[in-house]
């Protein structure tokens, strides 16, 4: 499996305007990458590009627009004369909901952005990287995709689907010389989690999360997940039989 380096080409980060994505832009620029930054908010991307002159290419766009993502990848590679060697598909949306306040519009929005949008970015990337027999793609899912957690049904469903998608595609990508990584963060302090009123154990800052992601991308393992204090209990919960799982979570207060 190949680990992409700045010599191999550009890095592309979606969801680059805030939170984990913006911190990862700064981290990768610091490591010598030129980073293509995508999100819908062009102003924030322009500010990032201005903060890192010549090292950040602002490429605004909506990841749910599949033709626009295919065009963006083609345009960036043609205009820069460089290939996208590393892609971190990080853009995402979260809205808490349970059974009583189940919101179909918010449900479909999360499916569309987290799952559909990631697929829309994957399609042109995989096609190009497989043809070149090189490249590294990382999908940002979440530890929330390990098991169905209270009030996280819509979001968790999209993240569980992304985990399955990354695992499934890895079989073919391995054969084609393209590296697939799965990133499952625990809680990180970002605009996304600022709305949460529940406790967020072992909450990390974005620069810490970005450092851990960057370290993981350079290792040979498939999954990059942190912090271990949250991940290990969740991995254990993942293998519990349903009866024990529900009893334990109920006792923990749902």
Ligand X SMILES: NC(=O)c1ccc[n+]([C@@H]2O[C@H](COP(=O)([O-])OP(=O)(O)OC[C@H]3O[C@@H](n4cnc5c(N)ncnc54)[C@H](OP(=O)(O)O)[C@@H]3O)[C@@H](O)[C@H]2O)c1
- In the complex, the residues that contact ligand X under the rule CB under 6 A are 14-21, 39-41, 62-64, 90-94, 113, 117, 140, 142, 185, 187-188, 190-193
Count of beta carbons in the 10 Å neighbourhood of residue 236: 10
Query: Quick one: tokens of 12?
Result: 């592309």
Q: What is the DSSP letter of 152?
A: B
Give ∠ CA 168-118-191 in degrees, rounded to 5. 125
Is position 146 annotated as part of the catalytic site? no
* φ, ψ dihedrals at 58, nearest 5°: -75, 120
Name which of 33 and 155 has its Cβ closer to ligand X: 155
Query: Quick one: tokens of 112?
Result: 């569309």
* Per annotation, catalytic residue among 12, 94, 155, 187: 155
Name which of 148 and 177 has its Cβ closer to ligand X: 148
Helix (H) or strand (E) holding 36: strand 35-38
Name which of 8 and 141 has its Cβ closer to ligand X: 141
Q: How far apart are CA 197 and CA 61, in angstroms?
A: 30
Cβ of residue 74: shortest distance to ligand X, in angstroms? 18
Cβ of residue 20: shortest distance to ligand X, in angstroms? 4
Residues with a catalytic annotation lie at 155
């Amino acid at each position: 499996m190949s680990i992409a380096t700045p010599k191999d080409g550009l890095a592309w980060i979606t969801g680059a305007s805030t939170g984990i994505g913006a911190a990862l832009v700064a981290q990768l620029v610091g490591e010598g990458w030129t980073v293509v930054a995508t999100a819908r908010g062009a102003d924030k991307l322009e500010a990032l590009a201005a903060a890192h002159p010549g090292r950040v290419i602002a490429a605004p766009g909506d990841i749910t627009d599949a033709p626009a993502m295919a065009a963006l990848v083609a345009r960036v590679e043609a205009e820069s004369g460089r290939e996208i060697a590393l892609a971190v598909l990080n853009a995402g949306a979260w809205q808490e909901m349970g059974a009583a306040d189940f919101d179909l519009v918010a449900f479909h929005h999360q499916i569309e952005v987290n799952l559909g949008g990631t697929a829309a970015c994957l399609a042109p990337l995989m096609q190009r990287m497989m043809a070149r027999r090189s490249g590294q793609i990382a999908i940002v899912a979440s530890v929330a995709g390990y098991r169905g957690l209270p009030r996280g049904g819509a979001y968790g469903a999209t993240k569980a689907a992304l985990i399955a998608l990354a695992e499934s595609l890895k079989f073919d990508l391995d054969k084609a010389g393209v590296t697939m990584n799965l990133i499952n963060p625990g809680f990180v302090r970002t605009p996304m989690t600022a709305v949460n009123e529940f406790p967020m154990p072992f909450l990390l800052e974005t620069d810490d999360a970005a450092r851990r992601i960057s370290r993981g991308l350079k290792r040979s393992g498939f999954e990059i997940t942190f912090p271990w204090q949250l991940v290990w209990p969740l991995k254990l919960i993942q293998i519990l039989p349903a009866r024990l799982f529900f009893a334990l979570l109920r006792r923990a207060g749902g």
